[in-house]
Structure 1
């Protein structure tokens, strides 16, 4: 093994990030204080949304979105099967049922065709929300998905933890993920492997004033302070949750957000180097496909590998790369195949999701990587596969 081990992803924390947190620790507020609103305001401005509501993590962001929409038990939400568990689980938290959509096997994204097929399985139940995932940082085809959702009486909620900083062009219009042009809300995560990190943390963006207020109320136990009431008075019209994001973590978020453009540029440069370095390994190894409209800030560098044709199992490749100091991960196991959902809904054939799962492998990808690290990863992959 040459050089230190490369994880598949990691945070970039610098001295000024540490200083920002230390300054917050010396301040008057450790939990909810002025840095929360400052982070929300800066984030909304960065993505082009009217409102941003900070919360405990990306899963809490999805749960709050379902609560804000008042999704009811027995109603339906559609989620792609290739995603993290939380995209589907957020519907179950409020008693709604999940209909899983298939994905394009080369991008991993929900498409208009796969959404239309999923809508056909909703039956006579009420469809409330469609949750496309901007997998890896590449963006779903939002205008077409939004039109299908609208025609079915539902709204779009973008699950965008992978896509902070990603842009897209539909027609001649340049758009930003989270700007609310097509979706009622978009949710983000600041987990350490995401584009910016707060340790744990999440955000919901929206252009709807009423939704923003409801999100803020629900993240703090459902408490509201009536206008002109005594300062100690609060009222709870319905139970909420303790989903607040502390000032300490918002201090880190503000510091990290100021670096987003630099992080984005570095991720784009690393992605370009990977695309070039992987070309000689085709057709056995190819990068995940990129939709024409998408200009991503990638969160994941996914290689699609024809494992049977290489004569290696995925486990053999993972172990071979690990022995060479290269960490990998799989994003994701199809959620519809998880025991809970299999028992609840029975077996489901989603060939695109299955094909994606059978070929995908996430390679090391984070701003702290050197150009030579990309070459080392690809060389290790080539040696492991005996190519």
Structure 2
């Protein structure tokens, strides 16, 4: 049986060539090149490559000088890495329910929260662009000014995605964090990127990304001082070499992702028990293709797996996870939209290297299983 995994890493000639150059010692400036090319690609003033997407997010919290008792607002439908980086500072994540079509944070509920909880302790809002579908960022940035909070965008699924024609990373957030090995779609290489237009934020991030070590240019190279508490967030030259090709090919990959999404939608529209995503947003990069199954989603996924088709779930709402549920005494019904979506959503395989035959095979299996539902 031909299996179609949920995700597959793309490995091009360019990636092989870059990695070979680094291994052969011919080009060991891969990190610097990646940062320069990335700045140009997204249109940001500064870019800092990190070992993982989570490292970029953690470094963002360091750069914002997050402290014990501070609050950071985020969607309840996000990967555990989002509130996790907040808790590492003994700061408090605050969860907001989602919209039922995009599964992104509900901006009305976010605004209500900000209006009702004005406090110096409220430091930032982390906005996750689920599947690369952006929220109304103009509204978000306007809220940030009114309520004096920083905006950090979690662009794990949004590499190459755009908002009103501008690439995510250049639209006006304080910090945007990318992940080259997104959650549930693991790459062969790990890496993240922190981008900002704020020189003070970048200066602090660069300092803390290397143990807060400072050196005097005129001193011997082994003489250094440490001026703060940092960590090591550095990416390796080999990872950077591979990721440079990934960034270079991303626009092409997004075009193919959109083609696949159209194939899925035209074939699955109207299939009983299956709801397809909206195709109205022309800027959707379809990093994920999320359908809703109205009955027994888990058994549907099991049957897909038995047919050799992988699937994903984005995400288990944070308030259902033991740590957050217990820590903050959260109840199952506290976030009704996220709960309802969680019981139905399923992400189908979608990646640029999928062949038309593989897409048709997934469609065929989804239709076959849907027919057995009563």
TM-score above 0.5, yes or no: yes
Structure 2 residue 112 is matched with structure 1 residue 117? yes
Work out whether 1:176 is the aligned partner of 2:167: yes
The change in CA–CA distance for 1:192 and 1:97 in structure 2 (over 3 A counts) is: closer
Q: Deviations over 1:224-248 (max 9, x none)?
A: 2234333322221112111100111
Instruction: State how far apart, in whole Å, the 2-side matches of 1:346 and 1:28 are.
Output: 56
Q: Hey, what does 2:20 align to over in structure 1?
A: 22
**1:354 paired residue among 314, 328, 339:** 339
Contact preservation (8 Å) 1:196, 1:253: no
User: Does 2:108 align with 1:132?
Assistant: no
Which residue pairs with 2:275 in the alignment?
286
SS in 1 for 2:158: coil
Say which is worse superposed, 155-164 or 294-303, in terms of deviation.
Answer: 294-303
Alpha-carbon RMSD across the aligned residues, in angstroms, is 2.1
Which residue is 1:302 aligned to?
Answer: 290
- Looking at structure 1, the residues matched to 123 and 305 of structure 2 have their Cα atoms a distance apart, in angstroms, of 44
Measured in 2, the distance between the counterparts of 1:15 and 1:193 equals 25
**Are 1:328 and 2:317 an aligned pair?**
no
Q: Can you give the 5+ residue segments of structure 2 that lack an aligned partner in the other structure?
A: none
User: Structure 1: which 4+ aligned runs deviate by more than 6 Å?
Assistant: 192-196
Q: Partner residue of 1:310?
A: none
* 1:93-172 correspondence runs (5 A): 93-119=88-114, 122=117, 124=119, 126-169=121-164
Could you tell me which residue of structure 1 aligns to residue 237 of structure 2? 247
Q: Is the 8 A contact 1:198 1:250 kept in 2?
A: no
Name 2:351's counterpart in structure 1: 366
Indicate the SS of the match to 1:136: helix
1:236 maps to what in 2? 226
- How far 1:198 moved relative to its partner? 6.0
- Is the CA contact 1:160–1:186 (under 8 Å) kept in the aligned structure 2? yes
1:315 Cα deviation from its structure 2 partner: 2.2
Q: Is the 8 A contact 2:115 2:147 kept in 1?
A: no
SS for the counterpart of 1:131 is strand
Matched residue pairs, number?
370
Cα separation, 2, equivalents of 1:291 and 1:158: 23
- Range that drifts further, 190-199 or 115-124: 190-199
Distance 1:192 1:85, change over 3 A: closer
In 2, Cα distance between equivalents of 1:337 and 1:324: 29
Rounded Cα–Cα distance in structure 2 between residues aligned with 1:194 and 1:266: 20
Judging changes above 3 Å, is the alpha-carbon distance between structure 1 residues 118 and 52 closer, same or farther for their aligned structure 2 residues?
Answer: same
Alignment match of 2:298 (pick from 306, 315, 328): 315
2:185 counterpart of 1:190: no
TM-score, reference length from structure 2: 0.93
Shift of 1:158: 0.4
Distance 2:188 2:145 in 1: 34
Q: CA deviation at 1:261?
A: 2.1
Unmatched tracts of structure 1, length 5 or more: 308-312
When normalised by structure 1's length, the TM-score is: 0.90
